[in-house]
Amino acid sequence: MNRIYITLLALLLFTGISEAQKISVHDPVMIRENNTYYLFCTGWGISVWSSPDMKEWKREQAVFSEAPQWAKEAVEGFRGHIWAPDISFYKGKYYLYYSVSAFGKNTSCIGLATNKTLDPNDPDFQWIDHGKVIQSFPGETNWNAIDPNLIVADDGTPYLTFGSFWDGLKLVKMNPEATAPAEDLNAIPTIASRKKSSKEPNPPSVDDNPKDAGGNAIEAPFIFKKGKYYYLFASIDYCCKGVNSTYKMIVGRSETIPGPYLDKNGNSMATGGGTIVLKGNEDWYGVGHNAACTFDGTDYLIFHGYDAHDNGKSKLIIKKMDWDKDGWPIAEEL
């Protein structure tokens, strides 16, 4: 009986560790403050998790207890389910950009909240919302103001990359406080697309699903500096379909933030290029919407995948990222 009890206890402990590493998330980003890792992801009010080791995760209070009033006014029907946050430490504060959108439309906004600390027990902990940063409009802007990511150049200039479907992924220079664009949004470049030219019409969706109304299945830009290169990660094909998800991660690189970002074959991501980093397999229907981080000298990819062993449920995946002899990222196998 004792042997059976010990065996069962060991199984329970193993299962607990495994499940702790597979919390259900969408669009995760991660940062570390002191000895705690903080994970931000899509959810009501923006979901937040904390961990001492990137394995055992504790759910924290959401960033917003109720939907920002400006967001409800900007996006009809919005009730507080916020997408694809991005977390950075900039000018002594934590910058949290986030997405507010109507599903399947580019009726969308990117907002910004800041905090002095991420520790909810710190007396200085308080999220301050700065409201709308960028907005897109159906029939007016052939891009979608979601999936923001902040990247700061070596000279201190902040840039925001964003976008989903429509004309692809965009890049805009921000003001010094990174609270508003510093250039005309009507002239910002497309840095990644599945189309061969921005003059091409948006392709129809694969299955004529209304949520794919923008066509051009690319989203989730994330720029990561490594050595002399800026690496642009993006996700292509389809998320959010459970067992039918086909998400994949691609990458290109440039020596400057504005680009062009070229893949291994020298093709520009702005005209359909992009080298596959990770794609689904027998265990994961699709994987994507990644962030990239460095902790203690080790690089990581943080992303979600659709679990083939759990009805396509979206789960957190963290993989170490290495680099080949030519400086291209290699992720641990799924």
Which backbone phi and psi does 329 adopt, to 5 degrees? -70, 140
**Please, which residues have CB within 8 angstroms of residue 297's CB and are 6 or more apart in sequence?**
none
Interatomic CA distance for residues 12 and 7, integer angstroms: 9
Phi first, then psi: give them for residue 187, nearest 5 degrees: -120, 10
> CA torsion sign, 122 to 152 to 293 to 47?
positive
Query: Of 27, 86, 147, 212, which residue is the catalytic one?
Result: 27
Q: Note whether 239 and 288 are within 8 A (CB).
A: yes
Q: Which two tokens stand for residue 96?
A: 């949290």
Active-site hit among 147, 212, 219, 307: 219
Q: In the annotation, is 122 catalytic?
A: no
Quick check: is 27 catalytic? Answer: yes
How many CB atoms are closer than 10 A to CB 269?
29
> What tokens does 77 get?
């029907």
Burial readout 14-26 (b: 16 or more C-beta within 10 A, e: otherwise)? eeeeeebbbbebb
Per the DSSP assignment, residues forming a β-bridge with 158 are 152
43 to 49, 160, 163: CA distances (angstroms): 11, 22, 19
Residue 267 in contact with residue 279, Cβ under 8 Å? Answer: no
CB 70 within 8 A of CB 60: no
Q: Give the active site residues.
A: 27, 219
